Structure 1
């Protein structure tokens, strides 16, 4: 069987995001999500996870949104103590990469301390692709023996990840034909998505808002659910099967 992981980023971002992710799992085809340890909805996400243990939970490492878990940082935060905006990393920048390692490790440890056994790890805003940060990301993945999102050129045949990674979910699950075309090239694929109900915190802090509701509608639509329930060669799964 071909393996498809439909993963929602941002679990723990806010109440609206949390409820949207749970709705996409409970009433739709979402199989996996990645949790943010540093955001206001973290505790609520933990409670929801206890109610829906079949939803795979990974770790969504943050560097560009919210406040860090650690308090002794200097180069990756702004004057108010928040993470620097992702635009900061688009040009030349100077930061202490040890701070990134320490902060990301602290985020992983915070989630592990809850008793969650994470299925994999990825990064918010694909922050592992900034500068040389992918080396830090992979070092931590190896330390904790975690599979990773395949959003980079993978040259390590022993690394646990999917064969393919796609961030345009809508173009893939429109029909059986578009779905099967993806799997002509891959045996395992992760589809990234961001379903949510919109709340005030999301409106005030994210540039990606209304499309999240459309993603939620797509993931829970009866036609999409029928598409997967009738498919004989593609199974919905989590990173645990990779």
Structure 2
């Protein structure tokens, strides 16, 4: 059996109908094996209902703390006067661990109520790697719920299982074409690697909500490219999802 194991995780599931359908298409016809769901969007529940038709797709929580409104009704250190999440430096300076943990649990429990086989945790804009209060809280939740977690440096966190390596370079102008992805795949090492991606179809909701738009379509085209899929086979890479860690 190959020692090269690759998780291809599509972030932002549920952000918009086009993003959700693009991720499912990239899973059905491409190399996406895993996704992480945003549960505080108006499309969240319906998106998860669609995911049930794809049992080989791992579904984790894409923790959101800097977009939209919280699920919890009492996390004052995370919100502005209008009740929306703080962003950037404001969130960094204000966030208190107890509020963060409360919101993580509320988002996770909501996802579990829709989809009991949640595979792992990561966060929108990697806030759990940039804000100490979020890092501490999500690590505690990961341990309590026995869930793997994404790290950006490839190192394990205490007893929490993480991939050996994280690749976030498949993102942005000039980085999401076929040649770039093939180069990444040709350099996948042994053990477990996670490749982050953001495929999607363009729709009006996405245009209003995200600055990352047309490149999502290009990511989708690349992830379903036959040459890319052949490279997976040539390099003897086993495509897995985070559920792999449950068997260790």
1:23 aligned partner:
25
**Greater shift in the superposed pair: 173-182 or 33-42:** 173-182
CA contact (8 A) 1:89 1:130 kept: no
Residues 1:77 and 2:79 are matched in the alignment: yes
- Partner-residue secondary structure (3-state), 2:62: strand
1:44 to 39, 43, 46: 46
1:203 to 203, 207, 231: 207
Cα deviations by residue, 1:104-136 (Å, 9 ceiling, x for unpaired): 110000011124211111111101123312111
> Alpha-carbon deviation of 1:79?
2.2
Distance in 1, matches of 2:91 and 2:222, equals: 33
Alignment of 1:98-117 (within 5 A): 98-117=98-117
**Residue segments in structure 1 that go unaligned for 5+ positions in a row:** none
Cα distance change of structure 1 residues 100 and 158 upon mapping to structure 2, 3 Å threshold: closer
**Greater shift in the superposed pair: 2-11 or 40-49:** 40-49
1:240 aligned partner:
243
Residues 1:217 and 2:221 are matched in the alignment: yes
**Greater shift in the superposed pair: 165-174 or 2-11:** 165-174
Cα distance change of structure 1 residues 240 and 173 upon mapping to structure 2, 3 Å threshold: farther
Which structure has greater helix proportion? 2
Normalising by structure 1, report the TM-score: 0.90
The alignment yields a C-alpha RMSD, in angstroms, of 2.1
- Partner-residue secondary structure (3-state), 1:78: coil
Residues matched between the structures, number: 237
**Residue segments in structure 2 that go unaligned for 5+ positions in a row:** none
- Partner-residue secondary structure (3-state), 2:7: strand
- Partner-residue secondary structure (3-state), 1:70: coil
- Partner-residue secondary structure (3-state), 1:182: coil
**Greater shift in the superposed pair: 42-51 or 7-16:** 42-51
Alignment of 1:1-242 (within 5 A): 1=2, 2-89=4-91, 93-132=93-132, 133-152=134-153, 154=155, 156=157, 158-169=159-170, 170=175, 174=179, 178-183=184-189, 186-228=190-232, 230-231=233-234, 233-242=236-245
CA contact (8 A) 2:8 2:33 kept: yes
